[in-house]
Structure 1
Amino acid sequence: MSVSAKETQRHPARPEPRPGVLAISAYVPGKSHAAGVDKVFKLSSNETPLGPSPKAIAAFQSAGTNLQDYPDGSSTALREAIGKAMGIDPDRIICGAGSDEILNLIAHAYVGPGDEAIHCAHGFLVYKIATLGAGGVPVVVPDREDLQMDVDAIIGAVTERTRVIFLANPNNPTGTYLPFNEVRRLHAALPPNVLLVLDAAYSEYVRRNDYETGLELALSAENVIMCRTFSKIHGLAALRIGWAVASEAVIDALNRIRGPFNMNAPAIAAGAAAILDAEHVERSIAHNDQWLSWLTTELTALGLTVTPSVGNFVLIHFPKTPGRTAAEADAFLTRRGLILRAVASYGLPDSLRMTIGTEEANRLVVQALSDFLSGAER
């Protein structure tokens, strides 16, 4: 036998990823297109219908005249703008290419092979992906029947191998939230070596007196990090901007594995302008308040169940009756150019998630679902 033949027997025919990588189900975003439809309303990704701040657009365009230079590797202008808006020391802030990058940095910094990371059954899919990507073991905790997160179940799932708990508050795709006394109760029950990740991507939309983002807890506790995004209320999803605040030790660890130029210059400039435009944020909040309430009322009047939401989306539940299922509703809406998010991958096969859209889009969805449920055009 030749040397090359022996080598082929000992080694795979091509490079192989480490064990576990190919077992990861890649994240699949909400669909964007409807074949054969002239006008499409994309209501599948929780994007703001008001778009970004004009000031953010101007900053982005200005930064585009100097693309030959590397960006600031520390995202200084963005961190300082966030610090000014939030009253935070910029040194306690880390920025990333969307909060997705920060979630992955957390997993790679604190979760190793065999370590456990806890997330809720209907939580953001990236938590599981990040955990598996780091070689860890995802521990899934069931939610309550009302789709609220179960603090006692989370506490009960903590073991000696637990390193991270991912908690979206408010949660996507359910729209539910935990009052902050419950978050504090959870934190108080955790060993000091377990990092509590408070994912507050939708926090700006919440209008509840018993809700807090987790900022103060992240600033005062050694084992809490709060993550935020510019993709939702700030309307900068295309630029991929996220940020987080935590103890100096946690921020230092994440910066050690963060890419040296993980934020591009136009994103830094646009993000800094966006977070300081409070008037635009208030307009977005007002629009969401109006249409979240309207949609919940109208959809319920059609006989559909809507989980009470504090975000910029609603979770709509459909019966299992043939002709009225979520999958059939999704197909019906798509034919009309109304793109909602199927959430079977979140363990909710009988539901669709709808982003709060423009007045036109919101009214069209309600009319289309009325037609669907009545059997029109079927």
Structure 2
Amino acid sequence: MTAPSALPDRPTPQPGVRAIAAYVPGKSGAPGANSIKLSANESPLGASPKAIDAFRAAADHLEIYPEGSSRVLRMALAEVHGIDPNSVVCGNGSGDLLLLLAQCYLGEGDEAVMNRYGFSLYPIVTKAAGATIVMVDETDYTADVDALLAAVTERTRIVWLANPNNPTGTYLTSAQVRRLHAGLRKDILLVIDSAYAEYVTAADYSVGLDLVGKSDNVVMVRTFSKMGLAAARIGWMVGPAHVVDAVNRIRGPFNVNLPAQLAGAAAARDVAFTERLKAHNAQWRDWIAAELDTNHMRVVPSQANFVMVLFPDAEHATKAFQALWERGLIVREIGNSYGIPQGLRISIGTESAMRAVAEVLKDFQ
């Protein structure tokens, strides 16, 4: 008779949970009272005034549960983007939706594919579902369609694609994304994470709605965080009916609070503010890239609201970070979290912030 195995003396997480490297956000404090945070890709112009008013108005109804499906927000998104509100699911930030998608479509023995320098939340949600993440090498910090397709196996269930990508700022064209999708089996879910779509100026870019509309295995995920509502935590996704149904079955019943729903709806409709934010970003993204692209720094062309600056080596990057830090300019180190130790990610801020960054780094050797 086999002796029973010893039981653990405390609750034990599922296999693999302890192997997950927790998400580490960018630093948010620096010496001096007037430090400037350029580490989290937040809006340099604040939030839409209409969204702020809507958020404040919600204070009169804090005793009431929010409508469970975020209907007011879904209707606003449908109106602005020309989509069916029933194809939309809202979440507590886009990270909430990424986690839900992983829980729905990944399990023990499954694989999810992503590019090497893709968003660091993808490995977390994949491993949390018991699946394995497959990292695929890039070409000059850009996702490689052929390499992604070559990494697909019979175990692949999801392909994660941030477009534009964080932290590199690079993107795949509409034609490249369509080619990626065409090469996938019909049972593989392509998740197009368009978190930075509001800032793209490239004419050959698509947010992914075209593929969602005519495919049974594509979803597009978006966020309000980069357009001034990071504190409100609002994400949304568009997908085919069967994916929407699956996600709605496991999401929290009130996963988007009422102030966030109302603020998000107002922000979505405030197209003029979104355009002003995009114009500001394009101006100062191009300016900082031109200022910093020198013989000892390389700025990777970006379509997001940040730039990735590459230095000769990790030591130079660390010294550059410290020089900025001492001036109260907080940028993002991307060595530990993204495996690019020679790089810094710098959010596009106000004109004065961008000029201050350029002044420090141009004098830095």
Question: Is 1:358–2:357 an aligned residue pair?
Answer: no
Counterpart in the other structure of 1:273:
266
Q: Distance in 2 between matches of 1:281 and 1:357?
A: 15
Q: Give, in angstroms, the shift of residue 292 of structure 1.
A: 0.7
Counterpart in the other structure of 1:12:
8
Given that residues 302 and 370 in structure 1 are in contact (C-alpha distance below 8 angstroms), is that contact kept between their aligned partners in structure 2?
no
Q: Distance in 1 between matches of 2:202 and 2:235?
A: 24
Counterpart in the other structure of 1:341:
332
1:92 aligned partner, one-letter code: S
**Superposition CA RMSD, Å:** 1.3
Question: Is 1:158–2:149 an aligned residue pair?
Answer: no
- CA distances 1:174-209 after superposition (whole Å, capped 9, x unpaired): 000001111101111110000000000001111111
Q: Distance in 1 between matches of 2:132 and 2:84?
A: 34
SS of corresponding position for 1:10? coil
SS of corresponding position for 2:80? helix
Q: Give, in angstroms, the shift of residue 223 of structure 1.
A: 0.1
Aligned residue among 28, 33, 37 for 2:24: 28
Q: Which deviates more, 99-108 or 64-73?
A: 64-73
Q: Which deviates more, 203-212 or 109-118?
A: 203-212
Counterpart in the other structure of 1:376:
none
SS of corresponding position for 2:349? coil
SS of corresponding position for 2:256? coil
Given that residues 299 and 306 in structure 1 are in contact (C-alpha distance below 8 angstroms), is that contact kept between their aligned partners in structure 2?
yes
Question: Is 1:71–2:66 an aligned residue pair?
Answer: yes
Q: Distance in 2 between matches of 1:265 and 1:70?
A: 8
Matches for 1:250-269 after TM superposition, within 5 Å: 250-269=243-262
- Over the matched positions of the two proteins, sequence identity in percent amounts to 53
Counterpart in the other structure of 1:3:
none
Q: Which deviates more, 10-19 or 240-249?
A: 10-19
Given that residues 314 and 341 in structure 2 are in contact (C-alpha distance below 8 angstroms), is that contact kept between their aligned partners in structure 1?
no
Given that residues 143 and 149 in structure 1 are in contact (C-alpha distance below 8 angstroms), is that contact kept between their aligned partners in structure 2?
yes
Q: Give, in angstroms, the shift of residue 16 of structure 1.
A: 1.0
2:159 aligned partner, one-letter code: I
Aligned residue among 190, 199, 203 for 1:205: 199
1:231 aligned partner, one-letter code: S
TM-score when normalising by structure 2? 0.97
Q: Give, in angstroms, the shift of residue 301 of structure 1.
A: 4.0
Given that residues 296 and 311 in structure 2 are in contact (C-alpha distance below 8 angstroms), is that contact kept between their aligned partners in structure 1?
no
TM-score when normalising by structure 1? 0.94
Q: Give, in angstroms, the shift of residue 321 of structure 1.
A: 8.1
Given that residues 93 and 245 in structure 1 are in contact (C-alpha distance below 8 angstroms), is that contact kept between their aligned partners in structure 2?
yes
Runs (5+) with no aligned partner, structure 1:
1-5, 374-378
Aligned residue among 146, 171, 175 for 2:169: 175
Given that residues 314 and 342 in structure 2 are in contact (C-alpha distance below 8 angstroms), is that contact kept between their aligned partners in structure 1?
no
Q: Distance in 1 between matches of 2:230 and 2:171?
A: 23
1:136 aligned partner, one-letter code: A
Counterpart in the other structure of 1:329:
320
1:287 aligned partner, one-letter code: H
Given that residues 219 and 245 in structure 1 are in contact (C-alpha distance below 8 angstroms), is that contact kept between their aligned partners in structure 2?
no
Question: Is 1:215–2:215 an aligned residue pair?
Answer: no
Aligned residue among 45, 48, 71 for 2:43: 48
Q: Distance in 2 between matches of 1:43 and 1:283?
A: 19
Runs (5+) with no aligned partner, structure 2:
none
Aligned residue among 217, 225, 236 for 1:231: 225
1:240 aligned partner, one-letter code: R
Q: Distance in 1 between matches of 2:244 and 2:322?
A: 45
Given that residues 296 and 312 in structure 2 are in contact (C-alpha distance below 8 angstroms), is that contact kept between their aligned partners in structure 1?
no
1:242 aligned partner, one-letter code: G
Q: Distance in 2 between matches of 1:370 and 1:180?
A: 35
Higher-Rg structure is 1
Q: Give, in angstroms, the shift of residue 89 of structure 1.
A: 0.7
Q: Distance in 1 between matches of 2:10 and 2:241?
A: 42
Q: Distance in 1 between matches of 2:189 and 2:174?
A: 17
Q: Distance in 2 between matches of 1:69 and 1:17?
A: 35
Q: How many residues are aligned here?
A: 362
2:319 aligned partner, one-letter code: E
Matches for 1:109-188 after TM superposition, within 5 Å: 109-144=104-139, 146-188=140-182
Q: Give, in angstroms, the shift of residue 371 of structure 1.
A: 2.8
In structure 2, do the counterparts of structure 1 residues 372 and 247 end up closer, same or farther at CA, with 3 Å as the change threshold? same
Q: Give, in angstroms, the shift of residue 153 of structure 1.
A: 0.4
SS of corresponding position for 1:64? helix
